[in-house]
Structure 1
Amino acid sequence: MHIKPKYHFWLMLLIALIILQLPFISIPFKWLESYFHEISHGLAALITGGSIVKIQLFPNGAGLCTTRGGSAFFISLMGYGGAILWGSLIFYLASSHQRVAQVFSVLLVVLLGSSILLWVRDLLTLFIVLILLALVFAQIKYSSHKYLQKLLQVTGLLVLINSLMSPLYLLDGQSRGDGAALADLTYIPEIIWVVIWFFAALFATYRLSKISLRSSR
């Protein structure tokens, strides 16, 4: 069955949504979103003059990036914000060209490998990051150039969907996490930050659909 190019984005989005509902199969992709969330905290610290002490990832998809120095506001903002940017970037670059998809996959391997060497301090996090490395390696090794693009596009959407839903877990009444930290720093209620992240992810998804439509013409 031939699918019109203008529907390709929505088909990939549907595939991503289905994958996230599958037991076990969805777990590595939740870990990937958690990794991008935590590394975004860390990169925000580095950009604003701080440093990364360690990165921790947990089996339930939670994570923790311990930083020293830097802008507390920017670091707290860029966890969910960074995951949105990573998901969008993966999809956009994978859509650009087969060669770009290959190069970006290699850069992901370098980033994950550097994280192991520099910031991973416990065996559980090491295991999870090694699984993520294996996932990226598998995409590179066992896919033709054409299918690598599609796999990376779906991966980007998986990260983006997770970043869309993850902030909603902050609305648990416990006043913990990035939203609560930003509320303490700015006196803007936590729910406002959750709404900002949620609609930023929605807008990113909408923009990617438009970019995908233009590239299909």
Structure 2
Amino acid sequence: MIKKAASAHARLVASDLLHAIKNERTVQIMLLILILSLICWQMPFANYFLYPFKLFVTTVHEACHALVARLTGGNVQMISIAPDESGLTLSAGGIRPLISMAGYLGTAVFGGLLIWWGKRPAEARFILQMIGTVILALTVFYGGGGIFSFVSMLIIGAGILWVSRKANDAACHMFLLMLAVQTTLNSVLDIQTLFLASVMGAQHSDARNMESMTGVPAIVWSILWGAIALCILTFSLWVSYRPQAKTGSGGLDASIMPGISGGSTMQDPVLLEQDIESSLADLKLNTAAAKEGQKIKINPKEEKKRK
């Protein structure tokens, strides 16, 4: 039964995502950005255009380490990003396993939030202002990892703020979608790189840190994080762009059969059958309760005659 329900839900999610690709303009734009990004990666000179966005994702990765370190009672000493797109966060104290996991999973969560925020063009400018401000704050307080790191983080934060102040609403929304695509894409590909590094026996990585703390091989952690990241991104897309439920569709009274009035449920026969059975059971219970109430109700005139 659980397997059947999971399969039905997976079909529903796939159907909703396909509907979003066909009908949601924002999803179509993100898909186009994704395709162009993959093409640019194969072109030597065009790849330089994506370099600042890769450094942005590295900054997000290290910021997630720093955030969890602070939330778990630790102290952050330094955030550093390198020209090869790698990064380093030095911290003391805190819950070390959570801090190590926060980099890759936190980036995936942040990418999911960007996808969700991307559905709201009117809020794009405010979101960009918040992101730019946070990056500048991280640069001032923790950006002591060398000239390249400090200048890069400063330019990234200031650049995002500049776009939020100078660009029009449409351009702000487009830039936010660009950040969303690059963050989600790199969060998955970085885990792929981590997996290959774990296979090759790299000694310095978040997965290797988890191996030293838990005894579980680094390759297992990289696979687990990759699966979780894909689930997070799929869920964020589905929640953000699934078709909205339509009450009262198909001539059904939503007050009587609320479970089968949603548009997404109508697309799946298994869920539809379950909703119909549940609704019929509720109707039977309500009918039985009403009959019982009529049986025990005494007519006032008959009560006077008895007296």
The change in CA–CA distance for 1:192 and 1:49 in structure 2 (over 3 A counts) is same
Q: What is the Cα deviation at residue 60 of structure 1? A: 1.3
TM-score (norm 2): 0.64
Q: Which runs of 4+ in 1 moved over 6 A?
A: none
Count of aligned pairs: 214
Q: SS state of the match for residue 56, structure 1?
A: strand
Indicate if the aligned counterparts of 1:28 and 1:131 stay in contact, CA closer than 8 A.
no
Partner of 1:77 in structure 2?
101
Q: Cα RMSD between the aligned structures?
A: 2.2
Q: SS state of the match for residue 43, structure 1?
A: helix
Q: 1:47 is aligned with what amino acid?
A: L
The residue correspondences of 1:85-164 to structure 2 (distance < 5 A) are 85-98=109-122, 100-121=123-144, 122-164=146-188
Larger Rg: 2
Q: Which gives a bigger RCO, structure 1 or 2 (Cα 8 Å, sep 6+)?
A: 1
Partner of 2:231 in structure 1?
203
Indicate if the aligned counterparts of 1:55 and 1:120 stay in contact, CA closer than 8 A.
yes
User: What whole-Å deviation, never above 9, does each CA across 1:153-181 have from its counterpart, x for those lacking one?
Assistant: 22112111101010222222223200011
Q: What is the Cα deviation at residue 80 of structure 1? A: 0.5
Partner of 1:18 in structure 2?
36
Q: What is the Cα deviation at residue 101 of structure 1? A: 2.1
Partner of 1:55 in structure 2?
79
Q: SS state of the match for residue 95, structure 1?
A: coil
Distance 1:139 1:204 in 2: 28
Pick the aligned partner of 2:216 from 179, 188, 205.
188
Indicate if the aligned counterparts of 1:80 and 1:167 stay in contact, CA closer than 8 A.
yes
Q: SS state of the match for residue 118, structure 2?
A: helix
Q: 2:130 is aligned with what amino acid?
A: L
Q: SS state of the match for residue 172, structure 2?
A: helix
Distance 1:76 1:103 in 2: 30
TM-score (norm 1): 0.89
Q: 2:237 is aligned with what amino acid?
A: S
Q: What is the Cα deviation at residue 67 of structure 1? A: 0.4
Partner of 2:60 in structure 1?
36
Pick the aligned partner of 1:5 from 16, 20, 23.
23
Indicate if the aligned counterparts of 1:87 and 1:157 stay in contact, CA closer than 8 A.
yes
Q: SS state of the match for residue 83, structure 1?
A: helix
Indicate if the aligned counterparts of 1:13 and 1:154 stay in contact, CA closer than 8 A.
no
Indicate if the aligned counterparts of 2:109 and 2:233 stay in contact, CA closer than 8 A.
no
**Could you list the runs of 5+ residues in structure 1 that have no partner in the other structure?**
none
Q: 2:124 is aligned with what amino acid?
A: A
Indicate if the aligned counterparts of 2:115 and 2:237 stay in contact, CA closer than 8 A.
no
Indicate if the aligned counterparts of 1:95 and 1:153 stay in contact, CA closer than 8 A.
no
Distance 2:138 2:235 in 1: 30
Identity of aligned residues (%): 23
Distance 2:244 2:52 in 1: 30
